[in-house]
Amino acid sequence: MKKINCILLIDDDEISNFINETLLKRMGVASEIKVVKNGIDGLKFITIYDENGICPELILLDLNMPVIDGYEFLESFDKLIFENKNNVKIVVLSSSNNPRDEERLKKEFGITNYFVKPLTEEKVLSILNLKPATSYN
């Protein structure tokens, strides 16, 4: 299994972040795992990393967060311009199992990579085998 350079977890739930980060570290799937608690901080992280020529290869995104939610993050992410944007996998990891969320993500953003919390080893292995969902602007 190829190791990912950087995974970015965007979730306001500290317990979920702790569990997910611990699982990912134990599985040894990434060289670096960064955690931010809202979409604004996620966008800032991506922008700063891009200035250094590095970006996360995988973003695990919650939908329901303060400041800006997952949908607003995706709208702003679509507007970002950086070199390896099309290589970034965005996977929604949410406590919601509402089919409307999945439909909206697919219709508005072309995202079909949707998993319901909690993250498990099986889900991580599935996520690692996914291709980036769409080409961004």
**Domains, the chain, with CATH or none:** 4-128 (3.40.50.2300)
Is the CB of residue 116 less than 8 Å from the CB of residue 95?
yes
Amino acid (one-letter) located at 122 = E
Q: For 10-41, how does the pLDDT look when each residue is reduced to its tens digit (9 = 90+)?
A: 999 999 999 999 999 999 999 999 999 999 99
Is the CB of residue 91 less than 8 Å from the CB of residue 63?
no
pTM of the full predicted structure? 0.91
Edge-to-edge order in the sheet of strand 4-10:
30-36, 4-10, 58-61, 89-94, 114-116
